[in-house]
Amino acid sequence: MKATILFSGGKDSALSSLLLEPFFDHIELVTFSFGQEDTGKVAAFAARQLGYPHRKMVFEDKVLDRALEILISTGYPNDALNYVHAIAVETLAQNCEFVADGTRRDDRAPILSHNAICSLEDRLKMHYLRPLAGLGGKTIKAMASQYIDFQEELSENYPASDFEVGLRHALIDRHGSREVERIFPKNHMHTRVIRRKRFVKEIERKEDQAC
């Protein structure tokens, strides 16, 4: 079985991959971008550190156009994040049997509704997995720290590979930095994976005990 994980290069989607690793023969990470230069670099570096194959995909131009329209008309990021995330998941679900992401218990966006998930799984005969859906922020930090080193970055910093940073950057390009200040929260942070600290040493020891 192969699991395909929507990957931003941050600790959340990395932990999702690490949680699934023992259950799948193959793990593949996929990063979507809006075609901006360098966007996928952070994720590609993180994927190499984690030891998983990595693939970059670019949204069609009209997806960015529509996402920016939603940002400007709503005046906050959530609906636009939900819009691009849903398209990314649906795109992967066309060809992949197991599609996962790093969305968390306490995330308000991006998030698919329960009805949207059931529709997706029924229509496309696939599995949509949210391995972090039952974990809080502190738990995720504690568990991710067992396997990876990561650092926090201001979401104003570029390049990065997550949707929020991509949308901020495109908004500046087309509408100026005032619109970013109006729509996005100040001092928002994201993480990026720096290093995988271990593979499965602890489990091997347990296996020895069991034998």
Instruction: Compare residues 50 and 68 and give the one whose CB is closer to a second copy.
Output: 50
Provide the sign of the torsion angle of the four alpha carbons 151, 172, 84, 1, taken in this order.
negative
Region of 198 on the Ramachandran plot (φ > 0 left; ψ -120 to 50 alpha; else beta):
beta
Q: Per CB under 8 A, does 115 bind a second copy? A: no
Question: Minimal distance in Å, beta carbon 180 to a second copy?
Answer: 30
List beta partners, residue 98.
3, 127
Only segment of 29-37, 56-64, 138-146, 176-184 that touches a second copy (CB under 8 A): 138-146
Choose between 38 and 97: whose C-beta lies nearer to a second copy: 97
Give me the least distance between CB of 164 and a second copy, in Å please: 21
Sheet holding 2-6: strands in order across? 54-58, 26-33, 2-6, 98-100, 127-129
User: Per-residue DSSP letters for 120-181?
Assistant: HHHHHT-EEE-TTTT--HHHHHHHHTTTEEEEEEETTSSS--SHHHHHHHHHHHHH-HHHHH
**Contact region with a second copy (CB under 8 A), list: 39-47, 71-79, 84-92, 126-134:** 126-134
Candidates 80-88, 154-162, 185-193, 199-207: pick the segment binding a second copy (CB under 8 A). Answer: 199-207
**The only residue of 128, 150, 163, 184 in contact with a second copy, by rule CB under 8 A:** 128
Min dist CB 22 to a second copy, Å, is 5
Smaller CB separation from a second copy, 62 or 205: 205
